[in-house]
Chains A and B, each alone.
Chain A
Amino acid sequence: MNELLRRLLFLPEQASEYARQVDALHYFVIVTTMVAAAGVFLAVVYFFVRYRRRGIDDRTPFVHPGFIHEALFVVVPLALFLLWFAIGFPQFVRLSLPPADAMDVYVQGKKWMWKFAYPGGPSSIDTLRVPANRPVRLLITSRDVIHSLYVPALRLKMDALPGRYTQSWFEADRPGRYEIFCAEYCGTGHSAMLGELVVMPEAEFDRWVAEQRRSELVASAQDAATPADRVLPAGNLVEQGRRVASEQGCMKCHSVDGSRHIGPTWVDLYQRREKLKDGTTVVADEAYLTKSMMDPAAQLVDGYQNVMPTYQGKLTPPEVAALVEYIKSLRTQVVRSGPSEGPAYESIPRR
């Protein structure tokens, strides 16, 4: 049944459980639409035949609707629409809340290519490799204009916005190759901004990561890209973040040993609840950290002066990602390499 309807509606393959659930809702919505429309048109045809005009001067009775008619006109579609919503909204919520043990991939759109960087491993252009049956969280940003990462086979789409991070996640369960499109118009190369999602069996993926790390140690030395690209080729985002922090002079004001300086310390900063000048509190997640680099005065931590300059335009998105990843790694308990710490947002329990 699923397969029949999927083909009838021209839907692409379903590479995740989420895709199959969304499609089930899709079928339900289409079937109810067809039934409702058929009802309206049969009524029109019946009335037309039954009450067709007999003379140009026909008299007709003055018909008043009863309250019950108008009530039915409201209640029936409302109930139907709310039922759609009651199924669709929880799916949307689920898509917005990555599980705690998700593997992170940093996604960066730029005219007109996709870059994918793994915190503990390599980076690649236009090809996103992920293991099957493991949740993957995408932290998405853009280097220039707005793009939108679209994987039809996963029924997943999320805008890539310059200057901030958005997130989404998936758990592909069918190894294979799937298309990635850019869905937000971004110029002459928009329709050529294609990528590929490669879902690999888990063991194969782990082998691939290990291999990439080895070869990168060799390759990174020879890589002399443009300044904007300078942090990308090297392997470990945390390592890159440490380098960016020293190059940009972050350490003049922020400490990595827990001591208070001109600015707040970075140790245990990630996920810390910070009290702000205006009395509100904020959780220092990826979004807050990014924003604090771009617009430091906007959400100033209580007890500190507004002395930090903006790094808008001074830091490229990959550098920001590296810095965030570096800050995330500064924990008193354990500093992990490889797949990063828990998600920035509250998680849902996994089955």
Chain B
Amino acid sequence: MNPSPAGEASGSMHFVTDQNGYFADNYLVKPATGLRSWLYTLDHKRIGVMYLVGVSIAFALGGFFAMLIRLELLTPGPTVMDAMTYNRVFTLHGVVMIFLFMIPAIPSGFGNFFLPIMLGAKDVAFPRLNLLSWYLYLLGAAIAIYGMVYGGTDTGWTFYTPYSTTTATKVVPVLLGAFVIGFSSILTGLNFIVTTHTMRAPGLTWGRLPLFIWGIYATSVIQILATPVVGMTLLLVAVENAFGWGIFDPARGGDPVLFQHFFWFYSHPAVYIMILPAMAVISEVVCAFSRKNIFGYKAVAYSSLGIAFVGFFTWGHHLFVSGQSVVDGGIFGVLTMFVGIFTAIKVFNWTATLYKGSVAFTTPFAYFVGFLFFLVFGGMTGVALATLSLDVHWHDTYFVVAHFHFIMVGATVMGFLAALHYWLPKITGRMYSEGWGLVAAVMIVLGFNFTFIPQFLLGNMGMPRRYYSYPEKFWALNVASTAGASVLALGLVIVLVYTLVAIRWGPIAGRNPWNSRGFEWMTPSPPPVENFEKPPVFTHGPHEYTDEDPAFPAPHLAPEPKHV
């Protein structure tokens, strides 16, 4: 059944006859296959793939540090490292996961690959800028990793002053690394916004844009507006740390809380840089696997913009116990709840999308279910944290740790994994093993719950975060959390293994193995260098399954559908 991957379709015009097989003249082999052709490439798909490789390595590294943290917390006292090492490890975990993995993961990886395809465009608006953004990411990562290896920052990823400006460890390289990565983020955001505005194919009105585009677009807006602020802030900390200027350190006439305002003005919206793309992926996945148009297209699309907008006015909820005025606290509390409302709109609309659909329980759908679970609990605990008197107890405890891991690991990583499984056939032209996929998904979702539900309870008990040692009454729950983390890690390793196997030996997926009507499935798999055989014209919105659509022929030649 499987058409052979190469050879037969060697002519440049053969893709029509190769409708459901492996498209041989794809972007992976054209224009060349050498290393140089990748390093100098301007193809958004290749840049996206390089990003995916980069962020996956960062994810593995950050996960390794996470396991070190959990290992150290296995006993109340010192377990495998000293306090200074522990402090460096949790800083590394935060910095790597946030700046090197989560912020670029979906927008720069999957966004780069799919945004132009979904728009019916040949590439992004500024291909050279796109490549520059990738090299800035690499440069920033290299500087940050240098700082970690030689010196090892111990401030936590939040770099709170005056601790960060007085600590003996080397903070400056890590700050500069994050600063450079910030430029990468800004350039990518700028590129996506311009591309979305100027390069939509004929017929692709704003009302027909795939919801993935809406989510990436909202993310890009935040990246452009918020990232410069953190850039300035990190630079100020670096300058104060290096030259002793009095900006944040009160002993030199500075203001320590000013840093927190600056920092969270970026870093709270940054949470939405991490979660909006995951929501964007989920909007595609839920439609594809329920074969239904989204329930409330406008509500889902505009709520992304709503989150991006309101997200800029919620930073003060990180400062409820920092001496901020009570009135400010109240205002920030209410504004934070609006983020919860926009999220609730999405949750209800995704759920309602299943209504009258045709639901297939595949691996991406399993991650959708996991995503929904984590987002509902992560989101509701977020609103609970905005309820000011409750925050006083929970602030800086493991409750907060569990809450933001539900959002940032739970929801974002579920989105990332859903995207990986949903789009792997498009990116590589090959299919992963559905059986292993479901096994790993179940392990990841269960392992995740076992890791972080105990942490909610630890927070209720009052265990502060960033504790190297802890009183014995916190022991049992910490052991449970470490056990859960091991299952989670094993699940992720399984994903890594079968994905690598699938890339090399997986069965040919064909043009559209899911029989999805997302626009990216109109092209062959893997896509040609210029994305489409002929420039597409759009006559309707994405994910309409009411009748036959000539643009999406049923994949009769595809390998046996495993999801019936």
Complex Cα distance A148/B464, Å? 10
Interface residues of B in 354-373 (CB under 8 A from A): 354-361, 369, 372-373
Is the beta-carbon distance between B387 and A65 smaller than 8 angstroms? Answer: no
Stretch at the interface among B53-61, B248-256, B425-433: B248-256
Is the beta-carbon distance between B471 and A179 smaller than 8 angstroms? Answer: yes
Complex Cα distance A310/B246, Å? 14
Interface 0/1 of B365-391, CB less than 8 Å to A? 000010011001100110110111110
Option from A9, A148, A152 in Cβ contact (under 8 Å) with B457: A9
Stretch at the interface among A128-136, A159-167, A251-259: A159-167
B330 within 8 A of A: yes
- How distant is A130 from chain B, measured CB to nearest CB, in Å? 18
Is the beta-carbon distance between B387 and A88 smaller than 8 angstroms? Answer: yes
Complex Cα distance A85/B396, Å? 20
Stretch at the interface among B105-113, B131-139, B540-548: B540-548
Interface 0/1 of B275-304, CB less than 8 Å to A? 000000000000000111101100100000
B245 within 8 A of A: no
Option from A48, A55, A62, A155 in Cβ contact (under 8 Å) with B354: A48
A77 within 8 A of B: yes
Interface 0/1 of A279-313, CB less than 8 Å to B? 00000000000000011000000000000001011
Is the beta-carbon distance between A150 and B464 smaller than 8 angstroms? Answer: yes
Is the beta-carbon distance between B337 and A81 smaller than 8 angstroms? Answer: yes
Stretch at the interface among A188-196, A207-215, A262-270: A188-196
- How distant is B545 from chain A, measured CB to nearest CB, in Å? 5
Is the beta-carbon distance between B253 and A312 smaller than 8 angstroms? Answer: yes
Interface residues of A in 51-79 (CB under 8 A from B): 51-63, 65, 69-70, 73-74, 77-78
Option from A40, A48, A295 in Cβ contact (under 8 Å) with B253: A295
Option from A164, A186, A312 in Cβ contact (under 8 Å) with B251: A312
B145 within 8 A of A: no
Given contact pairs A57-B554, A69-B296, A162-B162, A152 touches B462 in the complex (Cβ within 8 A): yes
Interface 0/1 of B341-362, CB less than 8 Å to A? 1001101110110111111110
B163 within 8 A of A: yes
Is the beta-carbon distance between B462 and A179 smaller than 8 angstroms? Answer: yes
B122 within 8 A of A: no
Given contact pairs A22-B393, A44-B369, A161 touches B323 in the complex (Cβ within 8 A): yes
B235 within 8 A of A: no
Interface 0/1 of B542-564, CB less than 8 Å to A? 00111100000011000001011
Given contact pairs A9-B460, A161-B323, A183-B397, A65 touches B299 in the complex (Cβ within 8 A): yes
- How distant is A299 from chain B, measured CB to nearest CB, in Å? 14
Is the beta-carbon distance between B355 and A47 smaller than 8 angstroms? Answer: yes
Complex Cα distance A59/B355, Å? 13
Is the beta-carbon distance between A152 and B393 smaller than 8 angstroms? Answer: yes
- How distant is B413 from chain A, measured CB to nearest CB, in Å? 19
Q: Residues of B contacting A344 with CB < 8 Å?
A: none
Interface size on B, residues (CB 8 A): 96
Q: Report how many A-B pairs have Cβ atoms within 8 Å.
A: 282
Is the beta-carbon distance between A40 and B351 smaller than 8 angstroms? Answer: yes
B313 within 8 A of A: no
- How distant is A325 from chain B, measured CB to nearest CB, in Å? 20
Q: Residues of B contacting A162 with CB < 8 Å?
A: 162, 249-251, 256
Complex Cα distance A59/B548, Å? 8
Complex Cα distance A163/B458, Å? 32
Complex Cα distance A150/B399, Å? 14
Q: Residues of A contacting B249 with CB < 8 Å?
A: 162
Is the beta-carbon distance between B292 and A60 smaller than 8 angstroms? Answer: yes
Is the beta-carbon distance between B351 and A182 smaller than 8 angstroms? Answer: no
B486 within 8 A of A: no
B156 within 8 A of A: yes
Complex Cα distance A189/B154, Å? 12
Chain A: which residue is nearest B477 at the CB level?
A: A10
Interface residues of A in 202-261 (CB under 8 A from B): none
Is the beta-carbon distance between A187 and B167 smaller than 8 angstroms? Answer: yes
Is the beta-carbon distance between B387 and A191 smaller than 8 angstroms? Answer: no
Option from B87, B293, B360 in Cβ contact (under 8 Å) with A188: B87
Is the beta-carbon distance between A52 and B166 smaller than 8 angstroms? Answer: no
Q: Residues of A contacting B369 with CB < 8 Å?
A: 44
Q: Residues of B contacting A51 with CB < 8 Å?
A: 290, 354-359
B322 within 8 A of A: yes
Complex Cα distance A156/B321, Å? 9
- How distant is A13 from chain B, measured CB to nearest CB, in Å? 10
Interface size on A, residues (CB 8 A): 84
Chain B: which residue is nearest A78 at the CB level?
A: B341
Is the beta-carbon distance between A59 and B546 smaller than 8 angstroms? Answer: yes
Option from B250, B295, B377 in Cβ contact (under 8 Å) with A65: B295
- How distant is B261 from chain A, measured CB to nearest CB, in Å? 13
B206 within 8 A of A: no
Is the beta-carbon distance between B299 and A60 smaller than 8 angstroms? Answer: no
Option from A48, A63, A164, A189 in Cβ contact (under 8 Å) with B295: A63
- How distant is B33 from chain A, measured CB to nearest CB, in Å? 34
Given contact pairs A53-B564, A59-B547, A89 touches B257 in the complex (Cβ within 8 A): no
Given contact pairs A9-B457, A162-B256, A36 touches B295 in the complex (Cβ within 8 A): no
- How distant is A246 from chain B, measured CB to nearest CB, in Å? 25
Is the beta-carbon distance between B464 and A182 smaller than 8 angstroms? Answer: yes
Option from B347, B359, B544 in Cβ contact (under 8 Å) with A53: B359
Q: Residues of A contacting B470 with CB < 8 Å?
A: 191
A125 within 8 A of B: no
Q: Residues of A contacting B330 with CB < 8 Å?
A: 89, 92-93
B263 within 8 A of A: no
Option from A59, A63, A91, A185 in Cβ contact (under 8 Å) with B466: A185
B41 within 8 A of A: no
- How distant is B336 from chain A, measured CB to nearest CB, in Å? 9
B32 within 8 A of A: no
Is the beta-carbon distance between A47 and B547 smaller than 8 angstroms? Answer: no
B334 within 8 A of A: yes
B392 within 8 A of A: yes
Interface 0/1 of A107-151, CB less than 8 Å to B? 000000000000000000000000000000000000011101010
Q: Residues of A contacting B329 with CB < 8 Å?
A: 92
Option from A48, A52, A81, A91 in Cβ contact (under 8 Å) with B388: A91
A331 within 8 A of B: no
Is the beta-carbon distance between A186 and B163 smaller than 8 angstroms? Answer: yes
Option from B392, B464, B561 in Cβ contact (under 8 Å) with A155: B392
Option from A12, A56, A61 in Cβ contact (under 8 Å) with B461: A12
Complex Cα distance A152/B257, Å? 24
Q: Residues of A contacting B44 with CB < 8 Å?
A: none
Option from A25, A56, A85 in Cβ contact (under 8 Å) with B333: A85
Q: Residues of A contacting B250 with CB < 8 Å?
A: 161-164, 294, 312
B45 within 8 A of A: no
- How distant is B296 from chain A, measured CB to nearest CB, in Å? 4
Option from B83, B348, B355, B458 in Cβ contact (under 8 Å) with A73: B348
* Other 16 A-B pairs with CB < 8 A, given A36-B376, A88-B388, A312-B253: A10-B460, A37-B373, A47-B351, A48-B361, A53-B358, A61-B546, A65-B295, A73-B349, A93-B330, A157-B393, A158-B323, A159-B323, A185-B87, A188-B84, A188-B87, A191-B470
Q: What is B's interface to A at a CB cutoff of 8 Å?
A: 83-84, 87, 154-156, 160-163, 166-167, 249-253, 256-257, 290-293, 295-296, 299, 320-323, 326, 329-330, 333-334, 337, 340-341, 344-345, 347-349, 351-352, 354-361, 369, 372-373, 376-377, 380-381, 383-384, 386-390, 392-393, 395-397, 457-458, 460-462, 464-471, 477, 515, 544-547, 554-555, 561, 563-564
Q: What is A's interface to B at a CB cutoff of 8 Å?
A: 9-12, 22, 25-26, 29-30, 33, 36-37, 40-41, 43-44, 47-48, 51-63, 65, 69-70, 73-74, 77-78, 81-82, 84-85, 87-89, 91-93, 95-96, 144-146, 148, 150, 152, 155-159, 161-164, 166, 179, 181-192, 294-295, 310, 312-313
The 8 closest A-B pairs by CB, nearest first: A152-B462, A163-B250, A91-B389, A58-B358, A92-B388, A88-B387, A47-B354, A191-B467
**Could you show 11 A-B contacts with beta carbons less than 8 Å apart?**
A26-B393, A41-B376, A51-B354, A53-B291, A70-B345, A73-B344, A82-B337, A148-B321, A189-B83, A310-B253, A313-B251
